[in-house]
Amino acid sequence: MINLKTMGLLGSVAMLAVTPGMAAAEWQPRKPVELIIMAGTGGGADQIARLLQGLIQKHDLSPRPFIPINKPGGSGAEALDYMRGKEGDNHTLLVALNSFYTTPLIQDGLDVDVTEFAPVGRMALDTFLLWVNTERENITDLDSFVSEVKGTDGWRVGGTGTGQEDSILTAMMEAELGVDVTYIPFQGGGTVAKNLVGNQVDSTVNNPAEQIEFWRAKNTKPLVQFNDKRMAPFEDVPTAQEAGLDITYFMQRSISGTAGMDPEAVAWYQDLFKTLFESEEWQAYCESDGLTCDEWMSGEDLVAFHKDQLERHKQLIEKVGAKAIMSE
């Protein structure tokens, strides 16, 4: 039974959605549910998956456990191929980020149509920020960052994977700012953040969750955020547009089921994740870590969103060039 006071749900409807015996909840998991994560440990997707898994367990929202499994290989291709092989399985979910779009577009041989996956729910839109180590006292804004990059031979940018969101954003910055950098891929955003603190890379475009503890410890500092508006807790950090950089880019955080998943199972998962989305704990996490979580999206609306983002990423790849994104 869900504790309404603890979860902070918006009325009894959300509670009924996960109560046995209701129409949408007649189906229930009969074995452990795999939460497949398209990136490595410590990054934003990994943190979100484990937070959701913990809330499901804490509030007894499922008769079977949810098991987070990282499959970061090939910039998420490993995860997508695994999902394809699980077609029709009712106990496998994907925790997706923007490599959900970029990896199938760039890796022609993957042959995965992500729009066929079951649209469970979009949990958030996440922020990208440009980060440097606080030891770089001469870098205080975008202009001083550009000057430093242009004056440094082999400026190193750390990012998650190759041919996915971090490398796309890096290529966009290279084109807009007229700079040339060396992109260094890692398997997860958490590793990227640690390498910035250790000065193994010179800058990153981490999401807040990946850098926020280092920021609070004053190890790293953000210069711009790639939103159309300033987000908490970074109200003092200008948007890229405010800093004169014509880039707006966000990370989607969504949950998908396998292609061919039974409709009853899809409905059960949609109810479950909507319950989580509306909880005080999830909304508090979004506020503290700079995510936009003001609109729940699932079903056909989510399919339409994915199709729109696929087209947008196709255009971005064409604009900056696949070679630049792949760091060739």
Identify whether the C-beta of residue 112 lies closer than 8 Å to the C-beta of residue 36.
Answer: no
- Residue 239 DSSP label: B
The structural domains of the chain, ordered by start, are 4-126+250-320 (3.40.190.150), 128-249 (3.40.190.10)
Assessment of whether the complete model's pTM goes beyond 0.85: no
Token pair in block for residue 83: 């999902």
Q: What is the pLDDT of residue 163?
A: 81
Contacts of 34 (CB under 8 A, 6+ apart): 66, 67, 69, 91, 92, 93
- Rounded to whole angstroms, the Cα distance separating 151 from 142 reads 14
For residue range 85-132, what is the model confidence (pLDDT) as tens digits?
999 999 999 999 999 999 999 888 898 999 999 999 999 999 999 999
For residue range 287-304, what is the model confidence (pLDDT) as tens digits?
999 899 999 999 999 999
Give the model's confidence band at 62: pLDDT under 50 very low, under 70 low, under 90 confident, else very high. Answer: very high
- Rounded to whole angstroms, the Cα distance separating 294 from 282 reads 11
Give the model's confidence band at 326: pLDDT under 50 very low, under 70 low, under 90 confident, else very high. Answer: low
Backbone angles phi, psi at 75, to 5 degrees: 55, 40
Give the model's confidence band at 188: pLDDT under 50 very low, under 70 low, under 90 confident, else very high. Answer: confident
Q: What is the mean pLDDT of residues 259-279?
A: 98
Q: Is the pLDDT of residue 17 over 90?
A: no
Mean pLDDT of the chain: 90
Q: Which of 223-237, 261-275, 283-297 has the highest mean pLDDT?
A: 261-275
SS (H, E, C) 119-142: EEEEEEEEECEEEEECCCCCCCCH
Identify whether the C-beta of residue 219 lies closer than 8 Å to the C-beta of residue 197.
Answer: yes
Q: Give yes or no for a cis peptide into 233 (omega within 30° of 0).
A: yes
Which of 173, 229, 175, 228 lies closest to 202, judged by CA?
A: 173
